Chain A
Amino acid sequence: MTASTPVAEPTGGAGSVPSPRAGGSLRAFVKGGGLVRWTGRTGALIPVLALGFILAVLVVEAIPAIRYNGLHFFTKSIWDEGTGYNSRIVTTNGVKHLTGADYGALPEIAGTLITSAIALIVGVPISIGAALFIVERLPRRLANGVGIFLELLAGIPSVIIGLWGALTFGPFIAHHITPVIARNMPDVPVLDFFRGSTGNGEGELTSGLILAIMIIPIVAATSRDLIRQVPILPREGAVALGMSDAQTARKVTLPWVGAGIVGAVVLGLARALGETMAVAMTCGVALGAVSSNIYGTMTTIAATIVTYLDTAFLDGSGFAVRTIAELALILMVITLAVNVAARLMTRRVSGTPLPIGAGF
């Protein structure tokens, strides 16, 4: 990083390719490879700087909200920017806000985690099963055709999926599927989360399933590419040992690319956590309450930010926007934590090193 003399490389092209016209220092800089080197260094720094900058801005914006909202922000279910027409701007502990401003983001945080969990629980097995099926069962030409559809599905704008979810998919499951489930679920802890009123199709389950549909192409396409890289020999070894297809997949094929599969799942989870529009259109945006069952209206961090931002700008004290920033910071921390956890898991999964460079 501290190479201050980019031209003075000991073994460059300078000696082997004598250039009589290389007079200007700029030309020497370009010809000696300095331009490429410095472009590369700058390019490598940009992601680091960008992440740092975004985090810094979010923290600065959110600090007043963190001070006023306190720890209750994580435990309360309320979203109140102030007392309507009678509101005045007051200052508490140096933080300007409207009288009666009271925020608790439990519904947002819970909603984000629950919908993402639904998406993973439903989406990941389907994705990996589909990837295995495409690689191992479909003839090559058909597999390529299906692959094109996967990539098309990944490219559909989320607003279109959201519209379909709000107009077609949500009402359909609310009228034909969820009432049957809700009626037949026993009234015991955990399972009673699936009982009760099934609503009109806007809510947790619809959003979670929409997210599942959105992560399937990402996870499936990535897994498919990984599974294709598994060499035939260990797979044949498993088959020749009398393992069933399922055992071969579970014991040999998937562990061979285990670290990559975890990466694919995290890619999907990151999409699910941050997905905004499709969720905002199908969740019902219930800012102040956590749903009592899986069918009820809810909200996520991303959906709250996008739907509430307009209103927040009307808050003359600016406090609502700062609360939005705090919300965004939480989402950012969750996303980063998921990535770090994935890295740790990847290290554990790949505990059995693969024969890269083992040279047999």
Chain B
Amino acid sequence: MSTAADPASSPEASAERTASIAPTVTAAAQQPYDDSAVALSAVDLTLSFGQHTILSNITADIRRGAVTALIGPTGSGKTTLLRTFNRMNDKVSGYRHDGDVLIDGRSIWHPGLELTSLRRRVGMLFQRPNPFPMSILDNVVAGVRAHKMAGKPAMKSIAEQHLTEVGLWAAVKDRLKDSPFRLSGGQQQLLCLARALAIQPDVLLLDEPTSSLDPNATESIEALVRTLVPDITVVIVTHNLAQAVRIADRTIFLNKGRLVEHGPTKQLFENPAEEETANYVGGRFG
């Protein structure tokens, strides 16, 4: 919590730390894929829905144990890229992809990798809270039950552990059997985060997780995200550039489906290599 309490310093520190491991993206991409520093990587990924090409030739390594922000104007393909990492796009009509996405060096489309186990390893939090129509307790352990990760007697303690982790335990401990829909929006989103964490993912994908929340709830989610690393690799899509600066170690800037720039957050915002990036983070378009 101490790093999160002072959000300005943490990305900087982490950026320096990660920069010392692999100074540039290109260097990281040249390393073999079993490199433990890379959790996820897109390799020349091109993705289209019908006639519309959403992503073109994206190559990016997502650093393990870091927070990576995906930024870019509306329609740049950042949410599509995020949803590709846990294969949520596969059933969209007209979906087609070239290239590959590797998790720990293995294709996410590998026939030997079951979709449900990929999604157990790659969790997701959505734009708006989406609790299930069951009690608060059942919500937290829904994934644990689905993957048969623990027996019945352990459920309550698992729920307590993860509700405590997201700071919701005190508020809900007397109403675990209640409907989650009576909670506030921020509490619901924390509940969804607890639910995602309960299945112990390696990677957590956040799709504008605070866009529907008030500033206080946003702050608590951001603080939490900082506590997840380095145990969990976090990829966050955000429209809010200030949020990217506050919580991301590394940032990927996408525009019109292309990856324009990928680097440590501080460098990308303060000293971007591309003019396009400079224009976007300087507020001149987007």
Contact partner, A236, options B93, B126, B195, B199, Cβ 8 Å? B126
The answer to whether A242 and B120 touch across the interface, beta carbons within 8 angstroms, is yes
* Other-chain contact of A234, B88, B120, B131 (Cβ < 8 Å): B131
Select one of A139, A233, A247, A255 contacting B134, CB under 8 A.
Answer: A255
Residues of B within 8 A of A240 (CB): 86, 88, 119, 123-124, 126
CB distance from A346 to the nearest CB of B (A): 14
CB–CB B143/A243 < 8 A: yes
CB nearest to A351 among chain B residues: B179
A256 touches B133 (CB 8 A): yes
Which of A28-36, A84-92, A352-360 forms part of the interface with chain B?
A352-360
Q: What residue of chain B has the Cβ atom nearest to residue A241's Cβ?
A: B143
For B192, the chain A residues whose CB sits under 8 A away are: 237
- Is B185 in contact with chain A by the CB < 8 A criterion? yes
Question: How far does the Cβ of B8 sit from chain A's closest Cβ, in whole Å?
Answer: 29
A251 within 8 A of B: yes
User: Interface size class for chain A?
Assistant: 20 to 34
Q: Which residues of B contact A351 (CB under 8 A)?
A: 179
Report chain B residues within 8 Å CB of A360: 128-129, 185, 188, 212
The distance in angstroms between the C-alpha atoms of A243 and B148, with both chains bound, is 11
Interface size on B, residues (CB 8 A): 34
Residue of A237, A239, A358 near B181 (CB, 8 A) is A358
Q: Is there an interface contact between A237 and B119, defined as CB atoms closer than 8 Å?
A: no
Contact B142–A352 (Cβ < 8 Å) = no
* Docked pose: A352 CA to B116 CA in angstroms: 27
Partner of A242, one of B146, B181, B188: B146
A252 sits at the interface (CB 8 A): yes
Cβ distance A249 to chain B, nearest Cβ, rounded Å: 12
- Alpha-carbon separation in the docked complex, A255 to B133 (Å): 6
- The docked-state distance in angstroms from the alpha carbon of A243 to that of B115 is 9
**Do A242 and B182 touch (CB < 8 A)?**
no
Q: How far is the CB of B192 from chain A (nearest CB, A)?
A: 7
- Return the chain A residue nearest B135 by Cβ: A352
Chain A residues in 8 Å Cβ range of B182 = 353, 358
Interface string of B25-59 (1 = CB under 8 A from A): 00000000000000000000000000000000000
Q: Does A143 touch B at the CB level, under 8 Å? A: no
Q: Which of B89-124 contact A (CB under 8 A)?
A: 93, 115-120, 123-124
Contacts of B195 in A (CB 8 A): 241
B residues less than 8 Å from A352 (CB atoms): 133-135, 179, 181
Mask for A176-209, Cβ within 8 A of B = 1, else 0? 0000000000000000000000000000000000
- Nearest residue (CB) in B for A230 is B133
Chain A residues positioned under 8 Å from B123 (CB to CB): 240-241
Per-residue CB contact flags for chain A residues 134-160 toward chain B (1 = under 8 Å, else 0) read 000001000000000000000000000
Q: Cβ of B133 and Cβ of A242 under 8 Å apart?
A: no
Interface residues of B in 139-183 (CB under 8 A from A): 142-143, 146-147, 179, 181-182
| With A238-B132, A252-B133: A233-B126 Cβ-Cβ less than 8 Å | yes
- B residues adjacent to A (C-beta < 8 A): 86, 88, 93, 115-120, 123-124, 126, 128-135, 142-143, 146-147, 179, 181-182, 185, 188, 192, 195-196, 199, 212
Known: A241-B119, A241-B143, A360-B185. 17 other contacts (CB 8 A): A139-B93, A233-B128, A234-B132, A237-B130, A240-B86, A240-B123, A241-B195, A242-B116, A242-B119, A242-B120, A243-B143, A244-B116, A252-B133, A352-B133, A352-B179, A354-B133, A360-B188
17 A–B contacts from the bound complex (CB under 8 Å)? A233-B130, A236-B88, A239-B88, A240-B86, A240-B126, A241-B120, A241-B146, A242-B119, A242-B199, A243-B142, A243-B143, A244-B146, A251-B132, A352-B181, A358-B181, A360-B185, A360-B188
